[in-house]
């Protein structure tokens, strides 16, 4: 599986973002009457076997949103032990994934190991035979699907649905600053990286620099965000309570929302965001 050449993809996103931005109401009100903001801490995630048929050899799964056993869109964390390697298999649903901790290899059976470090992004098309391996004392990835249930099946049922996998290593991420994306206010040095556009939704990374204190405004009726790197303070608009979000923690909303954030860690905070609207970072 080859790394995606993302220069063209990035250019397309820059153009599309400007169009979308102009189509949106530019004055998002600062007060939202009935905020739908939600938070889920990594410590609140309940773990279970991802593939019970494998018994003790199964990776662990912790649902963040949705329900991977149902037909709804779902995001969950997958945890692998050091040295884990799956047999060749397929899934009935295309998934997107981000490495949060450790090293993960995901490719065709028989391919040489290509270890993806934290901050790497990949997709796995439904029906395509592949293996997944992990290396490290703690290996965790975010996995998300548009529609469940998320099933593991034999390669005897493999098929080609026309999709092709994407592998973007963390070293190949293309970051855009406020001069290259009008999703970022001119007065801050946040950066953004557009990963995938499968209309009406899109996947992206946001990098909040050390010392960042500001807001992300989301305009869609679906916005999911997971902390990939660093620690973040998040203020709940419902009661002004401040939550500390570490790696694997989540915040989101089901309507237009304002997310008040502060990077309180010594490193840049990396967020993975999935939304069907646009965002603006102030």
What is the pLDDT, as a whole number, of residue 187? 87
Query: In 3D, which of 61, 227, 232 has the Cα closest to residue 149?
Result: 61
Are residues 136 and 93 part of one domain?
yes
Helix (H) or strand (E) holding 9: helix 7-23
- Separation of alpha carbons 198 and 252, rounded Å: 19
Our measurement of the distance from residue 228's CA atom to the centroid of its chain's CA atoms, rounded to an integer in Å, reads 8
Q: Do both 121 and 158 map to the same domain? A: yes
- 63, 167: one domain: yes
Choosing from 123, 147, 171, the residue where a domain stops is 171
Would 48 be classed as within a structural domain? no
Which phi and psi (to 5°) does residue 170 adopt? -55, -30
DSSP secondary structure, 185-201, as one string: -TT---EEEEEEEETTE
Give, rounded to a whole angstrom, the gap between the first and last alpha carbons of the chain: 37
Q: Does 104 share its domain with 65? A: yes
Phi, psi of 195, deg, nearest 5? -100, -45
3-state secondary structure of 277: coil
Instruction: Give me the count of residues in the chain.
Output: 282
Q: Mention every residue, 6+ apart, whose C-beta is less than 8 A from residue 11.
A: none
Q: Has residue 147 been placed in a domain?
A: yes
Whether residues 63 and 143 share a domain: the answer is yes
158 in any annotated domain: yes
| Residue 200 preceded by cis peptide, ω within 30 | yes
Q: In terms of domains, do 132 and 211 share one?
A: no
Determine contact, residues 149/99, Cβ cutoff 8 Å: no
Asked if residue 152 and residue 101 are part of one domain, the reply reads: yes
In a domain, 15, yes or no: no
Tell which of 171, 202, 221 closes a domain: 171
- Give the Cα separation of 17 and 1 in Å (integer): 28
Per-residue pLDDT of the chain (282 residues; tens, 9 = 90+): 444 434 434 444 444 444 444 444 444 445 789 999 999 999 999 999 998 888 888 999 999 999 999 999 999 999 999 999 999 999 999 999 999 999 999 999 999 999 999 999 999 999 999 999 999 999 999 999 999 999 999 999 999 999 999 999 999 999 999 999 999 999 899 999 999 999 999 999 999 999 999 999 999 999 999 999 999 999 999 999 999 999 999 999 999 999 999 999 999 999 999 999 999 999
In terms of domains, do 240 and 185 share one? yes
Other Cβ atoms less than 10 A from the Cβ of 127: the count is: 19
The CATH number of the domain where 67 resides is what? 2.60.120.10
Does residue 113 lie within any of the structural domains? yes
Structural tokens at position 8: 């063209």
Instruction: Pick the last residue of a domain from 149, 171, 193.
Output: 171
| Number of independent structural domains in the chain | 2
What is the extent of the structural domain holding 122? Answer: 59-171
**Which candidate, 261, 246, 163, places its Cα nearest to that of 213?**
261
pLDDT tens-digit series, residues 191-250: 999 999 999 999 999 999 999 999 999 999 999 999 999 999 999 999 999 999 999 999
Longest Cα–Cα distance of the chain, Å, equals: 55
pTM: 0.90
The phi, psi pair for 160, rounded to 5°, reads -110, 115
Q: Are residues 35 and 70 in the same domain?
A: no
**CA-angle at 10, arms to 161 and 182, nearest 5°:** 130
What order of strands is seen across the sheet that includes strand 250-253? Answer: 38-40, 250-253, 223-229, 269-275, 201-208, 191-198
160 shares its domain with 72? yes
Q: CB neighbours of 19 closer than 8 A, spacing ≥ 6?
A: none
Q: What six digits make up the tokens of 76?
A: 């969950």
């Amino acid at each position: 599986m080859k790394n995606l050449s993302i220069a063209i993809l990035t250019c397309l996103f820059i153009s599309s973002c400007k169009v979308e931005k102009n189509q949106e109401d530019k004055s998002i009100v600062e007060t939202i009457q009935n905020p739908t903001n939600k938070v889920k801490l990594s410590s609140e995630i309940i773990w279970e076997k991802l593939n019970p048929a494998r018994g003790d050899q199964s990776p662990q799964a912790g649902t963040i949103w949705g329900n991977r056993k149902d037909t709804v869109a779902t995001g969950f964390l997958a945890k692998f032990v050091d040295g884990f390697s799956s047999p060749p298999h397929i899934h009935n649903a295309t998934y997107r994934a981000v490495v949060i901790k450790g090293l993960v290899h995901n490719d065709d059976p028989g391919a040489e190991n290509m270890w993806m470090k934290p901050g790497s992004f990949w997709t796995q098309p439904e029906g395509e035979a592949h293996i997944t391996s992990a290396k490290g004392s703690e290996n965790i990835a975010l996995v998300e699907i548009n529609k469940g249930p998320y099933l593991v099946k034999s390669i005897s049922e493999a098929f080609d649905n026309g999709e092709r996998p994407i592998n973007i290593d963390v070293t190949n991420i293309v970051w855009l600053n406020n001069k290259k994306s009008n999703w970022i206010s001119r007065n801050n040095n946040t950066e953004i990286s557009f990963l995938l556009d499968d209309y009406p939704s899109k996947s992206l990374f946001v990098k909040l620099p050390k010392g960042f204190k500001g807001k992300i405004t989301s305009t869609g009726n679906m916005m999911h965000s997971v902390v990939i790197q660093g620690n973040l303070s998040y203020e709940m608009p419902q009661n002004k309570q401040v939550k500390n979000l570490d790696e694997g923690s989540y915040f989101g909303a089901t309507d237009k929302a304002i997310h008040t954030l502060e990077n309180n860690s010594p490193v840049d905070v990396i967020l993975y965001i999935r939304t069907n609207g646009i965002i603006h970072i102030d």
